[in-house]
Chain A
Amino acid sequence: MVVTPWQNDLTVELKEAFGDQILELSTGLGQDYLVAGPESVIAILEHLKLEDEYDYLVDITAVDWPDKPERFELVYILYSFARNHRLRVKTRIAEGSHPPTAVGVHLTADWLEREVFDMFGIEFDGHPNMKRLLLPEEWQGHPLRKDHGILQMDNRWVQENMGIDSGQ
């Protein structure tokens, strides 16, 4: 993917407001994204919502890079109805760190962050209901981590609740 710098009125304004907290402003495959420090992501989301009309949080997801020092990449996809423009806000966090929740800015974040917690084990600080979304609450393990095998499951849970001895 050829990555080129992303520059327009919006990026100038964001640079003014957040300065060094924004680490990268780029365009790849015609899609704009910015990379920011984990502590300023919520402020950026709020700024984009209130000042720049990015009022629709499309999705929150994570990507696991086990070999990198900051293991997880959190991705927030935003859309502005007024500008008809979509952008991604990305940040990198280390394993075990607790990023702040975005529920205060976008209500959509509630279930999306619960799904990220369920699948990756990333706990969001300040989330009103931080529990698993899809898997059973007592389930052990976070399946979308790269060190989780595709056939691996919580054998104990399956034995106890499904009555299947092998766990498969």
Chain B
Amino acid sequence: MPEATFLDASELVLNMGPQHPSTHGVLRVILKLDGEKVMGTECVIGYLHRGVEKIGENRTYQMFAPYVDRMDYIAAVSNGLGYCLAVEKLMGLEAPPRAQVARVLLTELNRIASHLFWLGTHALDIGAITPLFYTLREREEILKIFENYCGARLTTHAFRIGGLQYELYDGFEREVKALCDWVIPKIDEYEELLTSNRIWVQRLKGVGILNADDCKAYGVTGPVLRAAGVKWDIRKALPYSGYEKFDFEVPITHNADTYDRYVVRMVEMRQSVRILRQAVENIPAGPIIAKVPKVIKPPAGEAYVSIESPKGELGYYIVSDGSTQPYRLRVRPPSLINLQALDRMARGCLVADIVAIIGTLDIVLGEVDR
């Protein structure tokens, strides 16, 4: 056997996480490296597994509603919306128009908050500290609206099955309008800081490419899919909660890399503001909750309902046996399924790019592990 020289390839297995600042929680990635080059990855997940689906089978429909907020805690309002819509589908209910518009308002506010948090932490991972302080400052204003509305900032439990529990508070419309006017210049400011920043562009362009065919093969949805040029958003494709009434664009880009996902999310925030402006001008009067029985017992049957959460397709598959508790409750988490594509995206990249790729997938480990 020839003697090894320093030019020979030698495989090195490196453990990253679970306690690593840029894995956004307790994600462990085992990297197989050849020097700086990533030959393969394996994700070890489940550190945050709480058995949400099992809990769901052992709680009544109303009792389970606050639990869903603990999955994607960055976008808790979206989780709640998906769950309420799924139970309403089983019961044959529809929230009244006023509740639907309020739901759209709060969900879009949450989408902006989620994207802001993503932008700050993603930039932090890349090495830009400033955006984090800016984005969290802006996110705080949105959380204040949530707090004024329902008393909670993160795990809001904002919606109830059939509509809303609380009427919109005095000054809600004014605050949302003020936020819309205030946040757009802020987004411009982030773009000034980042969009053509040389370090930002060089760290992100061409990194973690996942083209449209791969996205479909791996079931990847949300901004990652749209950055690959697929114009698909559940709010447009299969509208729910009255999204068909609002005028907004679904942004797409074609390079399918980490930079393009940044561009898509920035445009999505602007589009969310557009939806907010339309919704806040036309909040219908009327009741905020449909006629919902005190004891919720959906007829036996099953339904799959999904929404466009900030991360991608968030689905609930609920099987009812006619009792007060779901017989089976399955959550289709976008973070888990998007994370599966990490290996495909990371192969051939450098170790430093792994941090960028985990960041661009926008995973929340609470939702990955449930």
Chain B interface: which of A10-18, A93-101, A105-113? A105-113
Contacts of B359 in A (CB 8 A): none
Bound together, the chains give a CA A61 to CA B332 distance in angstroms of 9
CB contact between A1 and one of B51, B53, B216, B301 (< 8 Å): that residue: B301
Q: Interface extent on B, as a size class?
A: 35 or more
Is A136's CB within 8 Å of the partner chain B?
yes
**In the bound complex, do residue A29 and residue B330 qualify as a contact, i.e. CB atoms below 8 Å apart?**
no
Bound together, the chains give a CA A31 to CA B58 distance in angstroms of 26
Contacting B at CB under 8 A, from A114-168, are 119, 132-136, 143-144, 148, 150
Cβ proximity bits B197-233 to A, threshold 8 Å, 1 near / 0 not: 0000000000000000000111100000000001010
CB contact between A59 and one of B46, B51, B328, B330 (< 8 Å): that residue: B330
Q: A57-B219, A108-B217 are known contacts. Are A136 and B46 too (CB-CB below 8 A)?
A: yes
Is A92's CB within 8 Å of the partner chain B?
no
Is A84's CB within 8 Å of the partner chain B?
yes
Write the chain A residue with the least CB distance to B220: A108
**In the bound complex, do residue A86 and residue B336 qualify as a contact, i.e. CB atoms below 8 Å apart?**
no
Bound together, the chains give a CA A59 to CA B53 distance in angstroms of 15
CB contact between B49 and one of A31, A108, A111, A134 (< 8 Å): that residue: A134
**In the bound complex, do residue B49 and residue A135 qualify as a contact, i.e. CB atoms below 8 Å apart?**
yes
Bound together, the chains give a CA A101 to CA B236 distance in angstroms of 33
Contacting A at CB under 8 A, from B139-175, are none
**In the bound complex, do residue A77 and residue B230 qualify as a contact, i.e. CB atoms below 8 Å apart?**
no
The DSSP consensus for interface residues of chain B is mixed
**In the bound complex, do residue B216 and residue A81 qualify as a contact, i.e. CB atoms below 8 Å apart?**
yes
**In the bound complex, do residue A86 and residue B328 qualify as a contact, i.e. CB atoms below 8 Å apart?**
no
How many positions in chain A have a CB within 8 Å of any CB in the partner chain?
34
Contacts of B46 in A (CB 8 A): 132-136
**In the bound complex, do residue B369 and residue A81 qualify as a contact, i.e. CB atoms below 8 Å apart?**
no
Write the chain A residue with the least CB distance to B90: A29
CB contact between A86 and one of B51, B90, B238 (< 8 Å): that residue: B238
Task: Give the A-binding residues of B (Cβ under 8 A).
Answer: 45-46, 49, 51, 53-55, 57-58, 89-90, 92, 216-219, 230, 232, 237-238, 299-304, 306, 313, 315, 317, 319, 327-328, 330, 332, 336-337, 340, 369-370
Enumerate 19 A-B pairs (CB-CB under 8 Å) in ascending A order. Answer: A1-B300, A29-B92, A55-B216, A56-B219, A58-B313, A58-B332, A59-B317, A61-B317, A84-B238, A108-B217, A110-B340, A111-B336, A119-B53, A132-B46, A133-B46, A134-B45, A134-B46, A144-B53, A150-B57
Q: State the 6 A-B residue pairs at the shortest beta-carbon distance, nearest first.
A: A1-B301, A108-B219, A134-B46, A59-B332, A61-B330, A134-B49
Task: Give the B-binding residues of A (Cβ under 8 A).
Answer: 1, 28-29, 31, 55-59, 61, 63-64, 75, 77, 81, 84, 86, 88, 106-108, 110-112, 119, 132-136, 143-144, 148, 150
